[in-house]
Amino acid sequence: MFELLFVTAPIMNVQVLLEGVFIGSVFALSAYGLALIWGVMNVKNLAQGDFVIMGGYAAFSVSNAGVHPIFAIPVVIAFMFCFGWITYKLIIKRVIDNDMFVSLLATFGLSLFLQQVMNLIFGPEVQTLDSHFGILLLGDFVTVPKIKIISLLIAAFFATVVVLFMKKSRMGQAIRATAQDARAARVLGINTDRVYAFTFALNASICGVAGVLVSMIWSIQPFYGIIFSLRTFAIVTAAGLGNLPGVIGMSFVLGWFEQYAGVLAGAEWQIAASVFVLIFVLLWRQLQARRHRQVVR
Amino acid sequence: MFRKYLVAVGAALAMGVVGVSGGAMAKVEGDTIILGSALSFTGKYAANGFHTQKGYDFAANRINEMGGVKVGGKSYKIAVKYYDDESQGSRAAQLAERLINQDGVEFMLGPYSTGMTKAIAPVTEKYKIPMVEAEGASRALFTQGYKYMFAVLSTSEFYLAPILDLVAERARAEGKSPSDIRIGMAFEGDGFSLDVKAGVVDVAKKHNMKIVIDDMLPADLSDMSATLTKFKALKPDVLLVSGHDKGAATAARQMEEMQIQAPYVGITHCEASKMPEKFPKGATGVLCPTQWLPGIPNKDNYFGNASKFNQDVLEAYPEYKDIPYQLTQAAAAVLVFKDAFERANSFDKDAVRDALAATDMDTFYGSIKFAPEGNNIAKPMFYRQIDANGKYQPVVSSDNIKIRNVAY
């Protein structure tokens, strides 16, 4: 396969790299959402992937009413925001001050619950949404569905909006203040409970947008959430909390790594690749830390 | 006096309990033979569970209307007792125990899917209960040495492998050698797909065909662009994919997006994935295996031929546009039981089991004859090719296959 990729048909690399970029852009959205709630609330949301799939099903429901999936995005954002807010009030609020394992267990339970509810409502069949945008041909070999380019732009747009929101708006500043020191923020009059609810709801909305894109470029099924949860955890852990450029960069690295693993080692290694990236980064960090400690000694 | 009264009441109650449970323990109640089945009415297999139930009920009603089952000079009706296995193997096994031990059922119809059948078969085997199953296709079911399980359907290794026979035949007819044929394939790592793959590998070896891509698709499959990129670069002659409905949907979608041209493409679960409606260009020319076709010439005395069966079921269940083959094979399973009861001329479990083992009959579903392992060796898989209008066209012979050439 190495020979095929680098000697016989090097043009394959263009296709593989492009696919990696498109995958990475969707990963980046849900990973950014996770980084946000992890950093601000210290909640590790194991239902992150299920939020993505839920966004996909919300778009599926809206498009069944004859609306193009892209125009379903505002509806999905509003729906997921309300869902996120209610979930915070009902579940997350009660576990936020507890041990890390309580939040892991609670969100794991939420993940199972959401899977079963989606299975009951939509059935276990795979669903796909068609954007009808056609395909772009780059030479004889490389093909790019236009929806993937549009998805990349949509992902970039929403990432920018969220970054600007965090920097410029009052709520964004409150979120950042709460992330730095929740107690001090409370002393200064910030309603941290409201900030947490807003942050969790914002994360659900971001996942919802990712879900709409997933339903248009791949497919959705009630039990697919776990692979997105796995990838977002790998990205956020590898990139480090509070490191937005790191999260985006790591998303693309993971996208490329998955695609190359699929081509060189077979499709069965594609998802395993994200776990390998995580292990590699953690080992690397461990080595760096050990070296640092030795210097201190 | 009071003590005597208590004893009398106790005895009467005990007799009542014995009488009631004695009635329930009978495998034949009055003039009705009770068959038992745990089917999936909720959970991920629910849709196919209902198709299966409709098949069982349709056949039981038809047999009852036409005089029922004749055993020992008497006519018996067929009734099926159902439980919902919730699409979970452990629940299916519990319900099989319940059907046998509490409901007294002595003849079972199979559940839906290989997984549920795998869970139930050890139970029916333990109690020596004959089971005719119609929905578990994995060949692993027939390597366990089960003596009381019989399956009417073709096993999974025949889903895609015969396509290679057809391709080899076509190559020979065109003056080419089958050994020049190159295959790209991607199979999911589940029991069913690995069986399908084993059949393909055997036939590829038989014809000396070269397998140039051999990918295993993950269970949570939604992207196979890496496999298709390799396919585009290597340009094999045949693409074979098996990954249930999600694999079929993903393959059709990404073949369309990546404009894959392959002379022959075989994919399982075309119907379930609705690929001709959703991805018409990707689906064009795809060869789809099916357990049954309404156009086959086989027939029997109860349902007439395949086309008559098709018409009658569409009238009975107007919600269907096309009949799922899961319903068809379920109906065939009931017919097999009826035939075995009559040949055994008894309701003795072992006599019925022996009669089932000796089954050799023609039905609207195809011929049925069981190997010693219990699988049906008389019925082939059938194929349909999706045309440019999204219609399924039956494949009668290798000349009948259209080389896939899609104008993207």
* pLDDT confidence bin for B259, thresholds 50/70/90: very high
Q: How many CB atoms lie within 10 A of CB A17?
A: 15
Q: Which residues of A touch B217 (CB under 8 A)?
A: 267-268
Angle at B60 between CA B55 and CA B64, to 5 degrees: 150
DSSP assignment of A105-143, as one string? HHHHHHHHHHHHHHHHHH-SS-B-------EEEETTTEE
d(CA A70, CA A212): 8
**Superfamily of segment(s) B27-154+295-377:** Response regulator (3.40.50.2300)
pLDDT score at B1: 46
pLDDT average, residue stretch B363-375: 95
SS3 A258: helix
ipTM: 0.85
The two beta strands, B28-29 and B182-188, are: unpaired
Q: Which residues of A touch B189 (CB under 8 A)?
A: 268
Measured between CB atoms, which of B222, B230, B408 is closest to A263?
B230
Which residues 139-158 of A have a C-beta within 8 angstroms of B?
A: 141, 143, 145
Strand residues in B62-172 grouped as ranges (E): 69-71, 74-84, 108-109, 131-133, 149-151
The minimum CA-CA distance between A49 and chain B, rounded to whole Å, is: 12
pLDDT average, residue stretch A172-198: 93
pLDDT score at B3: 56
Measured between CB atoms, which of B227, B245, B278 is closest to A262?
B227
Q: Which residues of A touch B277 (CB under 8 A)?
A: none
Q: pLDDT tens digit string along B72-87? A: 999 999 999 999 998 8
One-letter amino acid identity for B90? S
pLDDT score at A238: 87
pLDDT score at B15: 42
* pLDDT confidence bin for B4, thresholds 50/70/90: low
Residues A146, A133 contacting (CB under 8 angstroms): yes
pLDDT score at B24: 40
B298 touches chain A (CB under 8 A): no
CB contact under 8 A, B250 and A218: yes
pLDDT score at A32: 92
Q: Which residues of A touch B226 (CB under 8 A)?
A: 16, 19, 258-259, 261-263, 267, 270
The total domain count for chain A is 1
pLDDT average, residue stretch A82-92: 97
pLDDT score at A291: 79
pLDDT average, residue stretch B154-177: 93
Residues B56, B37 contacting (CB under 8 angstroms): yes
Strand residues in B9-152 grouped as ranges (E): 28-29, 32-39, 69-71, 74-84, 108-109, 131-133, 149-151
Lowest mean pLDDT among B12-16, B282-286, B318-322, B364-368: B12-16
B229 touches chain A (CB under 8 A): yes
CATH number, position A154: 1.10.3470
The runs of H, that is alpha helices, within chain A are 2-3, 12-41, 48-64, 73-87, 93-95, 100-122, 146-168, 170-180, 182-187, 192-217, 225-239, 244-265, 270-296
Q: pLDDT tens digit string along A128-144? A: 898 888 899 888 889 99
Residue-range definition of the domain harbouring residue A233: 2-296
Average pLDDT value for chain B: 90
**Residue A154 pLDDT > 60, yes or no?**
yes
| Distance of alpha carbon A227 from the chain centroid | 10
Measured between CB atoms, which of A124, A145, A259 is closest to B226?
A259
**Residue B268 pLDDT > 50, yes or no?**
yes
CB contact under 8 A, B249 and A128: yes
Q: Which residues of A touch B225 (CB under 8 A)?
A: 15, 19, 259, 262
Q: pLDDT tens digit string along A159-176? A: 999 989 999 999 999 999
Percentage with pLDDT > 90 across chain A: 65
pLDDT score at A2: 67
CB contact under 8 A, B227 and A9: no
pLDDT average, residue stretch B145-160: 94
> What are the sequence ranges of the domains in chain B?
27-154+295-377, 158-290+383-400
pLDDT score at B22: 38
Which residues 188-227 of B have a C-beta within 8 angstroms of A?
A: 189, 214-218, 220, 222-227
Average pLDDT value for chain A: 90
pLDDT score at B11: 47
A9 touches chain B (CB under 8 A): yes
Q: From the options 3.30.390.30, 2.40.160.10, 3.40.50.2300, 3.60.15.10, give the CATH code of B158-290+383-400.
A: 3.40.50.2300
**Residue A5 pLDDT > 80, yes or no?**
no
The minimum CA-CA distance between B4 and chain A, rounded to whole Å, is: 57
pLDDT score at B379: 92
**Residue B292 pLDDT > 80, yes or no?**
yes
pLDDT score at B16: 42
**Residue A13 pLDDT > 60, yes or no?**
yes
CA atoms within 13 Å, Cβ hemisphere of B253: 28
* pLDDT confidence bin for B5, thresholds 50/70/90: low
* pLDDT confidence bin for A296, thresholds 50/70/90: low
CB contact under 8 A, B259 and A214: no
* Better pLDDT: A26 or A2: A26
Lookup result for tokens 């009770």: B34
Lowest mean pLDDT among A215-229, B40-54, B73-87, B279-293: B40-54
* pLDDT confidence bin for A6, thresholds 50/70/90: confident
B48 touches chain A (CB under 8 A): no
pTM for this prediction: 0.82
* pLDDT confidence bin for B342, thresholds 50/70/90: very high
* pLDDT confidence bin for A204, thresholds 50/70/90: very high
